Structure 1
Amino acid sequence: METLRNNLVPKKLEVFVWRSLKRRLPTLTELDKKGIDLNSIRCPLCDDDIESIEHTLVFCKHAFDLWSKVYSWWGLGHVSNLSMSEILRGNTLASSSGLGKKIWQAVEWVCAYLIWKNRNNKVFREKCWNISVAFNEVQLKSFEWISLRLKKKKIEWLSWLNDPSVYLRIS
């Protein structure tokens, strides 16, 4: 499996994406496969299904709600039948190419990373998931990380908040 690169995000996100695609995140299911005795392998966020990487990052109702808000924010309609691999590989936006596609991929990676971070906050710190806070964090972190790394293009905060889809047309 090739290593995915995106220079618009910190290296830790590239590592996170690689670990996700290789099924190397310590979800409860993965820990159970290694023989670690757990009380439950149900999703700690929703308790609706077993906790797999795919469930946690995409299909958990909390993750799905966040993806829906992010897609709506970018004017991309609703999320439907996406796989974790499609999201992390940047295959969700067929009509865009070049820098615009790379910017969108960075936003998707930030969203997935923050879903995992919120999952860990719930498991280890017993913090409740707040969709509005998580969405605001996706907006802020993606803006910070992308705008700091774009050398030739300037991203404006207000346009990022109000209509980030204009950045899909950057070549």
Structure 2
Amino acid sequence: MGRIPTASELTKRGVVLEVLTCPMCNEYEEGYDHVLVDCSYARRVLEGVSRWCNIQLGPLHTVKDVLDSISQWGVCKKRRKIILAIFYGTLWSLWKSRNEKVFKKIRLPPDKVNDIIKSVVYLWVKNRGKIDKLNWASWSHCPLFY
């Protein structure tokens, strides 16, 4: 919806910035679709999450592509909710990682971001998802086989 304060969105609002390129790849203009999905850094994180979940996603270029793909995934409603939580957590973690780079000059490796996603979403699902059988060992191996 264009509400995330990326460089391109801030310039639309009249904010003058020295640099408009993505802080994660330094190649393309930083828009919300780029920084969360289409950036080479974001793609590595998304690939890691897909491997962890053992799922194949189609070509993803926008946040809408991610959410549409996930909302159509599988037939089990409970597992679809878990996947949706994982990808919300992924988008959130990518944004936080971007902010670490912009404000603290720290670029977390994609593998570290994947570890953060696993732990944060585990806590979300464990505490809000009412899944009694969920444990860290099975979650960290594959979140869909608990």
Instruction: Verify same fold: TM over 0.5.
Output: yes
* Alpha-carbon distance, 1:89 to partner: 5.0
2:35 partner letter: T
1:149 to 125, 128, 133: 128
Q: What CA distance in whole angstroms lies between the structure 2 residues aligned with 1:140 and 1:152? A: 16
Structure with higher RCO (Cα < 8 A, 6+ apart): 1
Q: What CA distance in whole angstroms lies between the structure 2 residues aligned with 1:48 and 1:81? A: 20
Q: What CA distance in whole angstroms lies between the structure 1 residues aligned with 2:27 and 2:117? A: 24
- CA shift digits 1:15-55 (9 cap, x unpaired): xxxxxxx2100000001111211111110110111000000
C-alpha spacing 1:152/1:34, structure 2 compared with 1 (3 Å): closer
C-alpha spacing 1:88/1:70, structure 2 compared with 1 (3 Å): same
Matched-pair contact (CA < 8 Å) for 1:107–1:138:
yes
1:48 equivalent in alignment to 2:30: no
Write the mapping of 1:18-37 to structure 2, written as runs, cut at 5 A: 22-37=1-16
Q: What CA distance in whole angstroms lies between the structure 2 residues aligned with 1:96 and 1:47? A: 39
Per the alignment, residue 59 of structure 2 pairs with 81
Report percent identity of matched pairs. 28
Q: What CA distance in whole angstroms lies between the structure 2 residues aligned with 1:123 and 1:57? A: 15
Give the SS at the match of 1:164.
coil
Q: What CA distance in whole angstroms lies between the structure 1 residues aligned with 2:129 and 2:63? A: 26
Q: What CA distance in whole angstroms lies between the structure 1 residues aligned with 2:53 and 2:95? A: 21
Matched-pair contact (CA < 8 Å) for 1:73–1:163:
yes
2:95 to 116, 141, 145: 116
TM-score (norm 2): 0.91
Show structure 1 runs of 5+ residues with no match.
1-21
Matched-pair contact (CA < 8 Å) for 2:58–2:69:
no
- CA shift digits 1:129-153 (9 cap, x unpaired): 3112111001100101110112253
Per the alignment, residue 130 of structure 1 pairs with 109
Q: What CA distance in whole angstroms lies between the structure 1 residues aligned with 2:99 and 2:2? A: 16
Q: What CA distance in whole angstroms lies between the structure 2 residues aligned with 1:123 and 1:131? A: 16
Show structure 2 runs of 5+ residues with no match.
none
1:81 partner letter: P
* Alpha-carbon distance, 1:92 to partner: 5.4
